Every structure is written in C-alpha cells, then in structure tokens.
Amino acid sequence: MQFDGKVALVTGAGSGIGRALVQRFVAGGAAVVAVDIVEEPLQKVVAELQAQEGKVTACVANVALDADVERMLTTATSTYGRLDILCNNAGIMDSMTPAADASLQLWDRVIAVNLTGPFLACRRAIPIMLEQGSGCIINTASEAGLRGGAAGTPYTVSKHGVVGLTRSIAFHYGDRGIRCNAVCPGGVETNIGLGGGNPHEAGLAKVMKLVQATSGRVAKPENLASVMAFLASDDAAFLNGAIVPVDDGWFAG
C-alpha cells in the first residue's frame, strides 16, 4: 500500500494515462479526486473503483478555468482533508499545425488547457502543500516539450512551458518540502488523437518522418502510470525538477 493515507488529484482522469493513474493510486491505498471535463467516462471510472471499495471522488471541471480549478482543489481538501499529490495530466493536441497556419483561437485553446491549466492548479495547490509541509506535483509534458519536431507549434510551445513550469516550481519550493517533476511521453495509446478531425497534412507528414525514425513502439497508458506513480512515491524522495522521457528512447536519438 504505497500510497496509504495519501490524497491525490488527477486531471484528465476519464481515459488514457489519467485513468490508469487513478487506478494505480487507488490500488496503492490513496484517496483520489478524479477530474475530467467529460462527465460520462469519468463517472464510469469512479463507479468501477467505488464498486471495488476504492476511495475516489469525481469532479467535472475545465482545468483552463480558475473557478473550476479552485473547486476541484476544494473538493480534495473538503472531502479528504489534505492534498499530497497533484497530477496535471489533462491536455489537448493541435492537429500538428505549424506556426504560420495556427489560428489565434487554436493557440489560445491549446495554451489554456496545456499550460495555463497546470499553472492554475499548481498556484492553488502549493499553499495547501506548504501548510502541510510536504507535497508532490507531477506534470504531464511531452516529447514535444523536449524538441521542436514532435507536434505542431501551439502544442510544442505549451509543453515546453510545462517543462519550464516544472523546473521553476522545483527550484522555488524544493527546500520547503514540495517536489515537482514531469514525464514526457512519446507515442501512447490514448484518446488525445491529433486534436481535430482534419490534421494539418504538411505538419503531420513532417512529424511522422521523425516518429518513423524511432522504434515505432507505442506505450500503453499503464506504462506512463507506473513511472508517474514512482515519481509520486517516497522511493523518489530525492527526485525534484526531473524531466523524464518515457518514449522508448526517442529523445536519445
């Protein structure tokens, strides 16, 4: 029971990595607030775990809205009394759109969910963790946060921002008991897709050339959840500010 007595909050919990992570935390004894903007799959996950006597509470929220972020954190503290682990996992793609073809609407939406969302959650979680004297934040960045050729421009910029956010929080709050690390997935079997029904053909073709130069293997959500659970555990107590590629060696090439 690696997380017995801990309280975790996971965004993007209705499917993919978020769902696998909620399952992992609950199996490890944690109480979990599972957050997603889409209610039906979220409630299904929560119902399944509650049927197994897991401690899990659903919260439908848009991570890009500060009022929703405040509500989801209040749900954690009012329901379970504390917040030990924050996992900023929710994210959207950009249809592999390069800068010159990216509309301001696309830019604003991707930045709002992928970067402003984690910032808002961290900004509200840090005071709670400071008062407790400890806390752990895990951000889902991306291979696109490490290089320029893994997605379109809005997504790439947003995930580079998540890497910077992670390192800044680790630097400023590490000596006060808060750890902040990030994972950078490569290809994963999730519902995120390309971020739209009409991918940018030229952008997609260029990115695929880079992808095809790798092993081509695609991770399962559970592969990411395992790494994130380790980062959240006491076994990783000396890891702070780490940016961890979970990409089958893609970044190594």
| Residues involved in catalysis | 155
Residues in the chain: 253
**C-beta of residue 234 within 8 angstroms of C-beta of residue 177:** no
Cβ atoms within 10 Å of 208's Cβ, excluding its own: 11
Cα separation, 12 vs 91, whole angstroms: 7
Cα separation, 150 vs 146, whole angstroms: 9
Phi, psi (5° rounding) for residue 202? -70, -40
* List of residues 6+ apart from 219 with CB closer than 8 A: 185, 186, 187, 188, 189, 246, 247, 248
**C-beta of residue 84 within 8 angstroms of C-beta of residue 135:** yes
Which tokens in the block code for residue 19?
């769902």
CA angle (224, 123, 69) in 5-degree steps = 75
